Amino acid sequence: MHEYRSEYPDGLTEGRVRGRGAQVNPSNRFEPIRLDVLGEHLDEVMVEHPEGVQVATRVYRDNAKTMINRVESADIPFGWSINAYRGCEHGCVYCYARPTHETFGLSCGIDFETKIFAKMDAVAILRRELGRPGWKGEPIMMSGITDPYQPVEKSLGITRGILELFAACRQPVSIITKNRLILRDLDLLRELASCDAVRVAVSVTTLDARLSAKMEPRASAPLARLDAIGRLADAGIPVSVMAAPMIPALNDCELPSILKAAKDRGATGAGWVMLRLPWQVKDVFLDWLAREFPDRAAKVISQIRGMRDGGLYDHRAGVRQRGEGARAEQMKDLFDVWTRRLGLNGARAPLSSARFRGPGGALLWD
């Protein structure tokens, strides 16, 4: 995988890259060699580019052989997932999926949001997988480690192609995104909704546009995401809000406001996740936190450690998504109170596989 090796080594630091979330490329935990940049070179870069440099997005073909992945985790509420891409241009500094890029010999930092691997053959692969005799139309989650509506989707249309196939097969699917580009596919979502075969969650991390621009620079602005919730609801698409991640002493106080704003737009369900920082994601997030919020960085870190048994991450199922201790319990209670008050915690009908039919067109349940 030499051709994908990072061009932006560990020494690349604050203020050097414009329009991106990460400003560092932490070393790959699988690579024995670490590359650093001499300080004199960084000084030269600053003189030549005082406003920072821009790093273009590069798209590579992902020669995946399969699309449908089995999910076996006690605290994840779905059994199958698909991902049209690997890497994500949104550049969310907190993204737990960043370490997946290390399997390419790349970094979870700038590389993750500038080197995108696209599954160009996704529809053909899925058509084969949906046509297998053993596949009965079980619900699929899209996506687990990347946003299916990240900016490159506008030109590549891989997610659109997948949904066209799903609509033809009446394959039930749940979608989570933080990009209003999902509205492009309202026609397909309506078709799936008519078969009780779609559910959408829109991730809203903050209502503060300035914080969002710093924390998730290429995702849709908060008001655009709320507008997407409203338009999805108006189109009859079951839609919920995912308030994630909640970051102590930074955006956690916004939880009630996010829930209410989503409810006002027509959301019928809600979820939340506490910040999680596996592997080298810690380096990306802590670098960003110190740069953007030096006045409260120590408080944020202290409260994270208070919910993670003194560490920055706890991988245990049931704990990694919520944390534990007094602060974590307070967040859970706050979420429960407000979802109950707003009517966002009612039972939701499961996605239906009753009308699934293989790519050949025959209903399996006749």
Residue type (1 letter), 207:
L
In the three-class reduction of DSSP (H, G, I as helix; E, B as strand; rest coil), residue 351 is classed as: coil
- Tokens 């293989």 correspond to what residue? 358
pLDDT at residue 52, rounded to an integer: 66
Instruction: Please give the structure tokens belonging to residue 358.
Output: 């293989």
Orientation of helix 255-265 relative to helix 326-342, angle to 10°: 20
Per-residue CA distances from 310 to 302, 306, 321, 324 (Å): 8, 6, 16, 11
Angle at 122 between CA 116 and CA 124, to 5 degrees: 155
pLDDT score for 41 = 47
Task: Provide φ and ψ at 271, rounded to 5°.
Answer: -145, 170
Q: Tell me what pLDDT residue 15 has.
A: 46
Which of 106-131 are b and which e, b meaning 16 or more Cβ less than 10 Å from the residue's Cβ?
bbbbbbbbbbbbbbbebbebbbeebe
- Structural contact between residues 252 and 307, judged by C-beta atoms closer than 8 angstroms: no
Inter-residue contact 141 to 162 (CB < 8 Å): no
CATH fold, domain 2-342, is TIM Barrel (3.20.20)
Q: Look up tokens 């994908």; give the residue.
A: 4
pLDDT for res 235: 98
pLDDT of residue 54: 81
Q: Per the structure block, which two tokens stand in for 64?
A: 């995946």
Give yes or no for a cis peptide into 143 (omega within 30° of 0).
yes
User: Which residues of the chain have a pLDDT value below 50?
Assistant: 1-15, 36-39, 41-42, 364-366
| pLDDT score at 365 | 42
Tokens (6 digits) for 113? 């949001």
| Closest C-alpha among 271, 279, 283, 285 to residue 315 | 279
Type of residue found at 204: V
pLDDT tens digit sequence for 255-285: 999 999 999 999 999 999 999 999 999 999 9
| Domain ranges, ordered by start, for the chain | 2-342
Q: Are 273 and 303 in contact (CB under 8 A)?
A: no
Rounded to whole angstroms, the Cα distance separating 188 from 330 reads: 40
Cα separation of 210 and 21, whole Å?
Answer: 13
As a whole number of angstroms, the distance between CA 311 and CA 218 comes to: 30
Question: 316: Cβ–Cβ under 8 A, 6 or more apart, which residues?
Answer: none
Tell which residue, 125, 114, 72, has the closest CA to residue 91: 114
**Looking at residue 100, what is its pLDDT?**
94
Q: In this predicted structure, what is the pLDDT of residue 33?
A: 61
Consecutive H or E run containing 80: strand 80-82
Q: What is the distance between the alpha carbons of residues 134 and 244, in angstroms, rounded to a whole number? A: 35
Helix segments in 218-280, DSSP class H: 222-234, 255-265
Query: How far, in Å, CA of 156 to CA of 62, rounded?
Result: 13
Q: 148-163 in b/e burial notation, b at 16+ Cβ within 10 A?
A: bbbbbbeebbbbbbbb
Whole-number pLDDT of residue 347: 78
Q: For position 47, what pLDDT does the model report?
A: 55
The residue to which tokens 């990347």 are assigned: 146
DSSP state letters, 18-77:
TT-S----PPPTT-S------HHHHHHHHHH-TT-B----EEEE---S---EE---TT-S
The pLDDT value recorded for residue 128 is 97
